[in-house]
């Protein structure tokens, strides 16, 4: 086979691999590690205010500080809408209140999907169900939690929350520290179909009984559970290429180099 033919086949194979790479990474819609200087979140990384006082929602130490009480800003990160299921994943912790979260109070959500002022997949901090510090609740399409996470959580401990929102069926699902989507989860109420066609992820500050502080990091938005399980390490909105494809492309470079070297010798 002539060197020109080999080079042509190598290039065609490389193009096919790049197409596969694009398909593999296209489901990751947005990411943010909040690696901004301490200060207001907006307008870093495309974040925009949609309610409250601009500049009240702060970044500190590479995390967003969602503080209920005196500060009052709601902000969102827009993304291109997709059909079907959409997921978000965040690392979060709740600052120590000195006592378990009070029962029977005003619980408020701090994270959600957004379509205008229609919010879905809302994540609440609520009182514990047992002897722990607090737990969380999920709402499909309402302002209060439909269902609570059955295991209590601990202050000043980081957890990974993953929320799936089915835009067709208007149902949200929640996992805490899951490794696969078959791990334990809870599902919100089945609301009227269809649901919201979400186009942004929001963080919210309000007034709650405890006016707790929630620290948020490592946001990922995607179309599958695996998309949002962890951050791939790329910049905001740019997912990392799978390692296997990087090795394959490196191999193509090597093949092309050998082919060119042989051609020069001939």
Q: What is the pLDDT of residues 144-170, one digit of tens each?
A: 899 999 999 999 999 999 999 999 999
Adjacent-strand bridge partners of 92: 159, 216
Give the pLDDT score at 1: 52
256 has a pLDDT exceeding 90 = no
Q: Is 20 helix (H, G, I), strand (E, B) or coil?
A: helix
Give the pLDDT score at 118: 92
20 has a pLDDT exceeding 60 = no
26 has a pLDDT exceeding 50 = no
Q: Which helix (H) or strand (E) holds 74?
A: strand 73-78
User: Which of 6-15, 127-136, 239-248 holds the top average pLDDT?
Assistant: 127-136
Q: Are the C-beta atoms of residues 114 and 198 closer than 8 Å to each other?
A: yes
pLDDT tens per residue, range 46-95:
999 999 999 999 999 999 999 998 888 999 999 999 999 999 999 999 99
Which pTM does this prediction carry? 0.79
d(CA 170, CA 192) in angstroms, rounded, equals: 7
Question: Please, is 262 exposed, middle or buried when counting C-beta atoms within 10 Å of its C-beta (0-12, 13-18, 19+)?
Answer: exposed
Confidence of residue 232 (pLDDT cuts 50, 70, 90): low
- Indicate the length of the chain as a whole number: 266
Percentage of the chain modeled with pLDDT above 90: 67
Confidence of residue 106 (pLDDT cuts 50, 70, 90): confident
**Phi, psi at residue 12, to the nearest 5°?**
-65, -40
123 has a pLDDT exceeding 80 = yes
């Amino acid at each position: 086979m002539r060197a020109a033919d080999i080079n042509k086949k190598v290039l065609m194979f490389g193009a096919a691999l790049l197409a596969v790479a694009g398909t593999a990474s296209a489901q990751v819609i947005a990411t943010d590690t909040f690696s901004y200087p301490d200060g207001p979140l907006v307008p870093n990384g495309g974040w925009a205010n949609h309610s409250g006082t601009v500049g009240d929602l702060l970044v500190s130490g590479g995390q967003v500080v969602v503080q209920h009480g005196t500060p009052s800003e709601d902000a969102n990160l827009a993304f291109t809408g997709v059909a079907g299921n959409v997921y978000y994943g965040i690392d979060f912790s709740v600052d120590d209140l000195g006592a378990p979260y009070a029962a029977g109070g005003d619980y408020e959500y701090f994270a959600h999907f957004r379509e205008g002022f229609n919010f879905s997949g809302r994540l609440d901090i609520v009182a514990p169900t047992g002897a722990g510090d607090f737990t969380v609740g999920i709402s499909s399409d309402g302002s209060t939690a439909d269902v609570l996470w059955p295991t209590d959580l601990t202050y000043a401990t980081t957890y990974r929350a993953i929320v799936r929102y089915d835009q067709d069926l208007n149902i949200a699902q929640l996992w805490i520290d899951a490794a696969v989507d078959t791990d334990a989860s809870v599902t919100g109420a089945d609301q009227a179909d269809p649901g919201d066609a979400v186009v942004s992820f929001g963080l919210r500050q309000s007034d709650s009984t405890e006016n707790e502080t929630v620290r948020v990091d490592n946001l990922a938005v995607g179309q599958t559970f695996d998309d949002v399980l962890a951050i791939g390490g790329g910049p905001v909105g740019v997912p990392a290429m799978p390692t296997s494809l990087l090795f394959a492309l490196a191999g193509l470079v090597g093949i092309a180099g050998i082919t060119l070297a042989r051609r020069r010798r001939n």
